[in-house]
Amino acid sequence: MTLEIIVFISAILFGILWYWRESRSNRTFRMLNKITHAKHLQMKPDDSKGFLHQQNFLLRLVYISLLFLAAALAVMALTPISIASVQLFVACIVGTLIGSYVASAVLFANKKITENSDIVEDTLEDTFDKGKTFVNDLRGEHKPTPQPKETVKQEEITPKKSARERLRDKGYLD
């Protein structure tokens, strides 16, 4: 059990390293692409896709499984000791997959933060100011805003006549 945990953690670190390396340069994938594809089907020069970088889950799983299968076969052919078991093989594959997704999340978050740092700062400042005014409102430390004085209309100054007086003015009452 201890060996599987060590292999699993090592595979996570290997997945992080492999993904980071491919995000910087994908020379190996580009070379394999030139060997296996016709000229009109080859990768564009600005395409940064690699074995793990910008691949979907299924292709990542295939590439990682092929790598560890080749490594297990090489270890079994070169050494008389058979330490390559199914548990270690699965721990390597799952650990590398997890490591690639962890690295993807970290690199993606880092790129987004650097691209949108000014927006994040403005948002944080606005949120801080709103929170500050909310806390001041709760404490009762806000300054009362002066109410604008209403203009008094001319009609309100003169007293209004009652209905009886209006009827008298019209001549309906004596």
Burial of 64 (0-12, 13-18, 19+ CB in 10 A): buried
Chain segment 29-46, per-residue pLDDT in tens:
777 777 887 777 777 777
Q: Distance between CA 11 and CA 19 in Å, rounded?
A: 12
Residue 82 included in any domain: yes
Residue 95 included in any domain: yes
Indicate whether 153 pLDDT > 70.
no
Q: Residue 93: which domain range?
A: 2-125
Total domains in the chain come to: 1
The percent of residues above 70 in pLDDT, for the chain, comes to 85
Residue 24 included in any domain: yes
Residue with tokens 């564009």: 44
Residue 56 included in any domain: yes
Distances (CA, A) of 10 to 6, 54, 96, 143, 149: 6, 22, 8, 60, 74
Residue 170 included in any domain: no
Indicate whether 83 pLDDT > 70.
no
Residue 140 included in any domain: no
Indicate whether 154 pLDDT > 60.
no
Question: pLDDT confidence of 156, banded at 50, 70, 90?
Answer: low
Chain segment 127-151, per-residue pLDDT in tens:
888 888 888 877 775 555 666 666 6
Residue 173 included in any domain: no
Indicate whether 95 pLDDT > 60.
yes
Burial of 95 (0-12, 13-18, 19+ CB in 10 A): buried
